[in-house]
A and B are shown apart, each in its own frame.
Chain A
């Protein structure tokens, strides 16, 4: 039997009205502005853009405000928004080699050409909550130091590549697969994996990256280079017949240098994992590059035993919008499903009782027979 249930409209309407109220909170406190969110909660905005897979700081700020700071809810909002817009075309691939650098560090070379620039980092802070954060004390302007306008930032992987000590950047199709257009089928390729990881959940990738360090798919990683900064976006305009720059975006790139490969015929050399993420998202870019490398196990004839090496496991579970949808749907009405389960359970119990009564009766008969 199927029973349709109606009702709850008033409750839902009032719940949403209550949500509006609780979101706004104390009316004597000024409402958050989008400038405050993009300016002062910039890394939350970056995370929402990266996992929402839509670069638009203002929209991400609106989503964060609407979601009361629940970032996965905000990511969901951004994903929903993007489905309402037409896609006008692909960009030319971003050239991270020509980034306007905001931070650039290497754990493999102390004196790499171009140098190490810390940028606005949490590293080397003491992780003590600063009482100043409770107030609005004036903040000093940053220190400035003159620099050469056309500084050159060679990539660490190119330095190793010049000596053929590391695998090249990786070849593949000029027209990459797109998981937002075609369902993913396994085995997939590196381009689709990178797309899935770039929009994957930071927490999930962090845990998986960590697991590779602890031995579940070990890759002996070193941070060859992390760079954060702005890259220009260029798009081919068919009606013009040439490409134009349409603006600039901030990205974080991580080049993870990993253990050797090679065999009798091929000289041993480093392999690598790659991370590229919207905004300033260093932890995510690092985790992404660890997992990206682990997922290439088959390519290097490595044993595939760990979760981080299993592309079906990683790709099918790294999307937090898909995950939250399936987990959270469990709270929605399952009254009929559950009635069916309950009915089944009751029948099983009834049958078990009948069997045990019958067994008891038979046992009593036997006892009688033996007695006789």
Chain B
């Protein structure tokens, strides 16, 4: 339940909303065009915890009135900040989410409840923001698919238990499915529904 915002909610937004949003959009677009590569979204905003800086920047640029956000882990300050900065409503159920901010201990069984689009409108699906501890030190994974010339090796640390199974199930839904954005600090890595993830 967000309280009425103090000054924290109205501060720490995009300093130059039009330009900054375009820079972030371009970063996200490039990340999705080249799955498995790391993109930097620039200077962090003043978003309250537990919002990861890259997730806050992504939402500040892309969320609006028509993109309900679902937060797995939330503080009042973070909710007020998002309300003022984006105008986006909060999805009460995962089914209503367009953007979902997962917690570090993401509950993967919930992923089946996010919208995956329909055959006629596969775009009406959720984009998940999943925090990782770091871009290296985890289990090595091989990525193949559009935007990857042959294959690409990644090893993010801190992926949730059962991640590979969830990604395989998601890939099987194509052209429907979820799109994933791993976030760490101000950096992101996209794993769109077209990318197949395997143990290396």
Interface presence of A131 (CB below 8 A): no
Query: Which chain B positions have C-beta within 8 A of A139?
Result: none
With known contacts A239-B5, A239-B9, A88–B84 Cβ distance under 8 A? no
Interface presence of A238 (CB below 8 A): yes
Top 5 nearest A-B pairs (CB, nearest first) are A239-B84, A238-B83, A239-B5, A241-B4, A87-B65
Min distance, Cβ A88 to any Cβ of chain B, angstroms: 6
Query: Which chain B positions have C-beta within 8 A of A87?
Result: 64-66
Interface 0/1 of A122-164, CB less than 8 Å to B: 0000000000000000000000000000000000000000000
- Interface residue count on the B side (C-beta < 8 Å): 11
Interface presence of A170 (CB below 8 A): no
Nearest A residue (CB) for B2 = A238
Within B73-107, the residues touching A (CB, 8 Å) are 80, 83-84, 87
Query: Which chain B positions have C-beta within 8 A of A241?
Result: 4
Docked Cα-Cα span, A240 to B4, in Å, equals: 6
Q: DSSP class of A's interface residues: helix, strand, loop or mixed?
A: loop
Docked Cα-Cα span, A226 to B27, in Å, equals: 54
Interface presence of A110 (CB below 8 A): no
Query: Which chain A positions have C-beta within 8 A of B87?
Result: 88-89, 238
Interface presence of A215 (CB below 8 A): no
Pair B5/A89 contact, Cβ less than 8 Å: no
Docked Cα-Cα span, A239 to B5, in Å, equals: 7
Docked Cα-Cα span, A221 to B80, in Å, equals: 51
Docked Cα-Cα span, A241 to B80, in Å, equals: 11
Docked Cα-Cα span, A239 to B79, in Å, equals: 10
Query: Which chain A positions have C-beta within 8 A of B65?
Result: 86-89
Interface 0/1 of B17-38, CB less than 8 Å to A: 0000000000000000000000
Query: Which chain B positions have C-beta within 8 A of A238?
Result: 83-84, 87
Interface presence of A181 (CB below 8 A): yes
Nearest A residue (CB) for B89 = A238
22 A/B residue pairs, CB under 8 Å, sorted by A: A86-B64, A86-B65, A87-B64, A87-B65, A87-B66, A88-B65, A88-B87, A89-B65, A89-B87, A181-B66, A238-B83, A238-B84, A238-B87, A239-B4, A239-B5, A239-B9, A239-B10, A239-B80, A239-B83, A239-B84, A240-B4, A241-B4
